[in-house]
Amino acid sequence: MTGVDILQQYFSGFTQQQIHQFEALGKLYPEWNEKINVISRKDIDSLYTRHILHSLSIAAIIEFKPGTQIIDIGCGGGLPGIPLAIFFPEVSFHLVDSINKKLTVVREISAAIGLKNITVEHTRAEQIRDRQFDFVVSRAVTTLKNLWQWGKPLIRKGKENELPNGLICLKGGDLAEEISQSGLRPHIYKLDDIFDEEIFEDKFLLHVKKG
């Protein structure tokens, strides 16, 4: 089964361009990972399951409307931002990270597959003062408390999509203490309710709405 076959078990209706873009990631990420380590070496062989499908779990929860503006905090090598930008070509994604060499991977892969809906910025989320977005997305970057502290000022109030504007983050493991310490009441989605692969047994998507 190819990488794209794995994705098509759960998602349908990809255009030929999207199929080509997703296929290209299977070559580009291993090549760039040899130069700049953005994915665990032991995980690179499971790129489509552990990283791309995991990133697209956000697309399984919410269908972003055209024109939605999203910031990916601590994007690393572009996950979840790049897979989501392929999936939602009419949605704008702003990818930020404090480590510039990781953004080289984002820029190069985005250019190689012709993504036009991604912008990149070398900064920390807490240093962004002049922009707001509909959603903050993040994948295994820091605690929920920190994510909300950094992300909340970047989120405009509203509900143009099926979920209210807010933070959407991907997390794993026992989250009880982390959620308690955050003082938040996120809506929690279990990813093993969506995907059959074993690796999703302890994986979750959390949504915190901007009040």
Which residues are annotated binding-site positions for S-adenosyl-L-methionine?
Answer: 74, 79, 125-126, 139
| Positions at the binding site | 74, 79, 125-126, 139
C-beta separation of 164 from 158 below 8 A: yes
Tell me the helix, strand and coil percentages in the chain, rounded to 5. 45, 20, 35
Counting every residue, how long is the chain? Answer: 211
Alpha carbon 180 to chain centroid, angstroms: 24
Instruction: Tell me the residue type at 204.
Output: F
CA 120 from chain center: how many Å? Answer: 14
Q: Which residues pair with 189 in a beta bridge?
A: 205
